[in-house]
Chain A
Amino acid sequence: MSEGESAEADQFENDPSVRQFVANGICMKTNEFEEKLDAGNIQEAESALRDGLSLNFEEARALLGKLEYQRGNLESALRVFDGIDLQAAVQRMQHSLGDKQPSKKGRSRSESLSAVSQHATNLVLEAIYLKAKSLQKLGKLPEAAQECRSVLDAVEKIFTDGIPDVLVENKLQETVSHAVELLPELWKQAGNYTEAMSAYRRALLSQWNLDNECCARVQKAFAVFLLYSGVEVGPPSLAVQIDGSYVPKNNLEEAILLLMILMRKFYLGKTKWDPSVLEHLTFSLSLCSQTSVLVKQIEEAIPGEIQRIERWKAMALSLSGAGQNSSALDLLRMSLHKHEEPNDVMSLLLAAKICSENVLLASEGVKYAQNAIANSNGPNSSHLKGVGLRMLGLCLGKQAKLSSSDFERSRLQSEALKSLDSALSLEPENSDLIFELGVHYAEHRNMDAALRYAKQYLDATGGSMIRGWRLLALVLSSQQRFLEAEVVTDAALDETSKWDQGSLLRMKAKLKISQSLHKDAIETYRYLLALVQAQRKSYGPLGVAPQVEDDNIDEYEVWHGLAKLYSILSHWKDAEVCLEKARTLKEYSAESLHTEGVMHEKQGRVSEALAAYINALLLEPKYVPCKILIGNVMCKMGPKMLPVARTLLSDALRIEPTNYMAWYHLGIVHKDDGRIADAVDCFQAASVLEESEPIESFSTIR
């Protein structure tokens, strides 16, 4: 019927700019009706239209209302629509449809819904919908929402089983889809968020036969509402939950679910790509630190929609955020390839940062950092020059650690320092940098400078960072100022809540040992043990640490520390028990074997000790303390073994040039071999280094 109409209309139509009514095969220009309506004569216009086009009352009103709506005469449109008793019409329709329909379920029932009645249904529903739209445009939002909702209520009454996929007239479906999409918007604009939420859920959980695009729009709008409205909507009602299916508990979960579903629709080709969906997902997943999930989502996005370099960069950031730095670096290497974007400062800096954390990658990181500095002259990246210099300093410092020649090492170290200093001159207030300089100086035993930076860092952060307190205490301890170090540690403990005290308590125990206050040390360790065990229990079944900071210490460390302490005191039984506990927590550990060896050796079981040391080296070939101890044992085996001892100790010093024990034992080897001058040098080095030995390595501070 409608096709016939429009065909005829096309014939009739000469000037497409002339507005006209078309019904029952007849066309009428609208100007004369417009005049009548403008004069306020609604009834006159109505009867003229009924006569002219052979329409009934409702049809005529619906057409006139639509005309006024299109002309932007919203008040007039509302007056026209008000003339129809829409609710009565809906009721009539329900009855007529109800009579025709057999009570059996299934498609046959929908089929019986004839085109004629669908047509009549749409006429009424569209009129209500336009009424809602008019009210919306007039700013009467709650009223608009009520009208819009009545469209959906009517549809639900008419189609009790939801709208069937097929057999629904296009126009009717269009009105339904419009109303479904409009209702939540109206409630939102009216400021009624509870209603908006139920309108969204109603839109998505009932069967409205929405097309893919419309459904995707509603899903996205709901996700945005959930993410940003700031109103917690509560989980969906039990009625819509299906056994075994995932039910979101809060806004964030529901939003992420919807966004993931949208992403899947994109790659299945069901809906058009919308870049904002990925951005919303990126925001929400980074918000809850789940960038590993984000990696998969970006990976699955259809090729072509995201530029490949953008994809690599986003994935690299996500992987790095999830702690998968080596995969992140692989992607950055691709995006920094000379044919891609070799000068992208963000990628260069991230790559340099990842490399700065690994001795083996440090030299690669140096290149990235240098490149980043060279490229941070643009207007948008000049503030990143200091960061580039800082990364360069860190990478060079790391590279120095691997260096085999003394000359090369000191060259790299001084370059590292130069870079960090230039970074500091650009950013004198950068507290991270101040901290790193402190650690750098401390590692190279320039304790006065280290102390200065440690204090500066503590001031700059207002004591809010545990690592600041630890650095200061360690620097003091390496100056053999144990009492002061203890004061700092106690102050830090005061400023820390108990779950974060682990590393401070461990330090305190070691400070006590350094002062030969072994009983106090044991007490401290016992307290620490109780704390660590309570903490493990309090994590509960979730197994998540309450603190994000990763310098929490584990139970193994405590048992092992106790074992070492008892071994110093020659309480062999206690030491054995503690070591056994440590072993159950961590089966293969060079540290445990080290302690075990020391215990054997002290009790005169040299071959057992040697076996333990060698096992430790098999686990960790670069484990310096055992190299030294083997060297020491070899040294005692007589002149034939001296070259072996010397090799081992030199090797230890190559890895840890500031290890005073290694220098000391090397001195003994030289002495035994008759090289007195060399021995003196070694002893001197050992003595100097021992005076600046911290109670634990500076690299334990993160």
Chain B
Amino acid sequence: MEEDEEIINSSPEKATAAAAAAAAATATTPSNHKPHITWSDSYSKAHLAIEALSAILPSLPPHLSSSETPATSLLHDSDVAAQISLLLRRPDSGGANDNLCAWLYDTFHSSEPDLQLVVLRFLPVLAGAYLTRAALNKPLAGFESVLLAIYGHETAARNGQAVTVSIPDLAHSSIYHETKQTAAKNGSTELHLAVISPTLEPHGTVRSTRRPRIVGVALELYYTKISRIPIGSKIEFCEFCKIWSGQFSDQTLNENNPPQHSDNPEKTTPSSSPVLRILGHCLMGEEKKKKNNNNNNDDELFQTAISACRCLNARALHDINPKAILATGSLVKLAEMAAAAADRTSPDYVDHTEIAMTNIISI
């Protein structure tokens, strides 16, 4: 336990050392605490993380320490989530001596996918708090160490390569063409190549001009894991988008007022492509379709996401940014269409997989 305390109190600047210490602790501690568990490294790592967290949070739900799947329990525990979010949002958070940031950093470096997911789950709050405060010239080494850890992970995973998409051209035959002939093949038409995410270079520190990019890349990783991220985190993401849009709240848009900008002057915004993809998921991902399960959380996500989209659309109009106007405008329209289509009481609602209900039942 003493060892753990040390790790937590170490500043993120010494984070690499802390990570090494954590690795050492992982190797030795199981024999001290849970001698019978040697079969699962990830299990013990998760327990270590929970123990370390208990020194930071005011109260930790007791069932976490006894959980069979500690990492998953940690990910989905709304009480823990609320406590951590609160700490991250505190005005003095994110500094070099922030224990929680050190914990997030170490936990991400545990290399356990389930534990990394726990860290990613807090990315929206962390990135939101970071970007709103970065311009105030306060040292935010704690936040930055976590963001750089995530950025570094994605850079390594991608080997620094850009993510590209070659836009299909129907002049080329494809697997989904109805006529399966290859004669129409036409070498003269080149496929458009689009760069979704440019090449990545390693960063040891956050240079201010790379700040939006580093947060953007972290969000790209968040998006690739999004189907496993709890809804609460996605709702926090949507809230963060509203702040990012310069707080054109729905209310502001509907009233005859000039826009209310937020107190902070920061206009640093992460790259828009991952933001839009995450929002698209929040609006039209599978959670939305399960709405008839009476899950209020899902509906809350949908409502928050559509409101975030409207804010971003207002912002895009404000910036006269054609691509952003198109993308956010389409999302808003699609969400409205989806809401109308999901209404089963509407006369237009058709379930195409339902059989014809007739009074004449024949073979």
Q: Is the CB of B286 within 8 A of A191?
A: yes
Asked whether any CB of chain B lies closer than 8 Å to the CB of A429, the reply is yes
- From B193, B208, B223, B284, contact of A462 by CB (8 A): B208
- From B172, B194, B255, B280, contact of A228 by CB (8 A): B280
Interface string of B313-353 (1 = CB under 8 A from A): 01001111011111101110110010000000000000011
Q: Is the CB of B168 within 8 A of A248?
A: yes
Q: Indicate the member of B137, B212, B318, B337 with the most A CB atoms within 10 Å.
A: B318
Q: Is the CB of A242 within 8 A of B182?
A: yes
Asked whether any CB of chain A lies closer than 8 Å to the CB of B256, the reply is yes
Contacts of B357 in A (CB 8 A): 70
Q: With A204-B176, A318-B322 in contact, do A287 and B277 touch (Cβ < 8 Å)?
A: yes
Q: Is the CB of B322 within 8 A of A350?
A: yes
Contacts of B262 in A (CB 8 A): 429
Asked whether any CB of chain A lies closer than 8 Å to the CB of B158, the reply is no
Closest to A130 in B: B355
Whole-angstrom distance between the alpha carbons of A495 and B208 in the complex?
5
- From A20, A384, A387, A428, contact of B359 by CB (8 A): A20
Asked whether any CB of chain A lies closer than 8 Å to the CB of B281, the reply is yes
Q: Is the CB of B360 within 8 A of A20?
A: yes
Q: With A6-B360, A245-B174 in contact, do A464 and B209 touch (Cβ < 8 Å)?
A: yes
Q: With A290-B192, A383-B259, A384-B318 in contact, do A21 and B361 touch (Cβ < 8 Å)?
A: yes
Closest to B131 in A: A462
Whole-angstrom distance between the alpha carbons of A129 and B356 in the complex?
13
Q: Is the CB of B323 within 8 A of A286?
A: yes
Q: Is the CB of A538 within 8 A of B199?
A: yes
- From A13, A288, A495, contact of B194 by CB (8 A): A288
- From A219, A320, A328, A379, contact of B255 by CB (8 A): A379
Tell me the residues in window 358-386 of chain A with beta carbons closer than 8 Å to chain B beta carbons.
377, 379-380, 382-386
Contacts of B36 in A (CB 8 A): none
Closest to A182 in B: B353
Q: Is the CB of B166 within 8 A of A249?
A: yes
Q: With A23-B362, A244-B173, A462-B268 in contact, do A320 and B208 touch (Cβ < 8 Å)?
A: no
Interface string of A122-141 (1 = CB under 8 A from B): 01001001100100000000
Asked whether any CB of chain B lies closer than 8 Å to the CB of A166, the reply is no
Whole-angstrom distance between the alpha carbons of A252 and B163 in the complex?
11
Whole-angstrom distance between the alpha carbons of A253 and B174 in the complex?
12
Asked whether any CB of chain B lies closer than 8 Å to the CB of A568, the reply is no
Whole-angstrom distance between the alpha carbons of A249 and B165 in the complex?
8
- From B168, B177, B182, B353, contact of A256 by CB (8 A): B168
Asked whether any CB of chain A lies closer than 8 Å to the CB of B41, the reply is no
- From A63, A289, A292, A350, contact of B363 by CB (8 A): A63
- From A205, A283, A288, A391, contact of B196 by CB (8 A): A288
Q: Is the CB of A23 within 8 A of B167?
A: no
Contacts of B226 in A (CB 8 A): 230
Interface string of B137-179 (1 = CB under 8 A from A): 1000000000000000000000000101111111011111100
Separation in Å of the B312 CB from the closest CB of chain A?
12
Contacts of B162 in A (CB 8 A): 542, 544, 546
- From A63, A391, A460, A538, contact of B267 by CB (8 A): A460
Contacts of B283 in A (CB 8 A): 228
- From B223, B268, B273, B327, contact of A464 by CB (8 A): B268
Tell me the residues in window 371-413 of chain A with beta carbons closer than 8 Å to chain B beta carbons.
377, 379-380, 382-387, 391
Asked whether any CB of chain A lies closer than 8 Å to the CB of B261, the reply is yes
Whole-angstrom distance between the alpha carbons of A518 and B318 in the complex?
45
Closest to A241 in B: B175
Asked whether any CB of chain B lies closer than 8 Å to the CB of A547, the reply is yes
Whole-angstrom distance between the alpha carbons of A257 and B355 in the complex?
31
Asked whether any CB of chain A lies closer than 8 Å to the CB of B33, the reply is no
Contacts of B323 in A (CB 8 A): 286, 289, 291, 317, 321
Q: Is the CB of B174 within 8 A of A16?
A: no
- From B248, B329, B352, B360, contact of A181 by CB (8 A): B352
Contacts of B164 in A (CB 8 A): 542, 544
Asked whether any CB of chain B lies closer than 8 Å to the CB of A73, the reply is no
Closest to A122 in B: B363
Tell me the residues in window 246-262 of chain B with beta carbons closer than 8 Å to chain A beta carbons.
246, 248, 252-259, 261-262
Asked whether any CB of chain B lies closer than 8 Å to the CB of A236, the reply is yes
Closest to B229 in A: A230
Asked whether any CB of chain A lies closer than 8 Å to the CB of B198, the reply is yes
Q: Is the CB of B326 within 8 A of A286?
A: yes
Contacts of B207 in A (CB 8 A): 494-497
Q: With A383-B253, A542-B193 in contact, do A431 and B267 touch (Cβ < 8 Å)?
A: yes
- From A178, A321, A429, A462, contact of B355 by CB (8 A): A178
Whole-angstrom distance between the alpha carbons of A243 and B182 in the complex?
8
Q: Which residues of B are interface residues toward A (Cβ below 8 A)?
A: 134-137, 162, 164-170, 172-177, 180, 182, 185, 191-196, 198-199, 201, 203, 207-212, 223-224, 226-227, 246, 248, 252-259, 261-262, 265-268, 273, 276-277, 280-281, 283-286, 289-290, 314, 317-320, 322-327, 329-331, 333-334, 337, 352-355, 357, 359-363
Q: Which residues of A are interface residues toward B (Cβ below 8 A)?
A: 2, 5-6, 9, 13, 16-23, 30, 55, 59, 62-63, 66-67, 69-70, 119, 123, 126, 129-130, 133, 178, 181-182, 185, 188-189, 191, 193, 204-205, 214, 217, 219, 224-225, 227-232, 236, 240-250, 252-253, 256-258, 260-261, 264, 275-276, 279-280, 282-283, 285-294, 314, 317-318, 320-321, 328, 346, 349-350, 353, 377, 379-380, 382-387, 391, 426-432, 459-466, 469, 492, 494-500, 538, 542, 544-548
- Given A119-B363, A495-B209, 15 further pairs, Cβ under 8 A: A21-B361, A204-B176, A242-B173, A246-B191, A247-B174, A282-B326, A283-B280, A283-B331, A285-B167, A289-B194, A314-B326, A432-B319, A464-B268, A544-B162, A544-B164
- 7 pairs from A and B in contact (CB 8 Å cutoff): A19-B361, A244-B173, A253-B165, A261-B177, A283-B280, A353-B320, A547-B198
Question: What 10 A-B pairs are tightest by C-beta distance, nearest first?
Answer: A462-B135, A288-B194, A463-B208, A321-B322, A230-B226, A286-B327, A246-B174, A228-B284, A22-B362, A283-B330
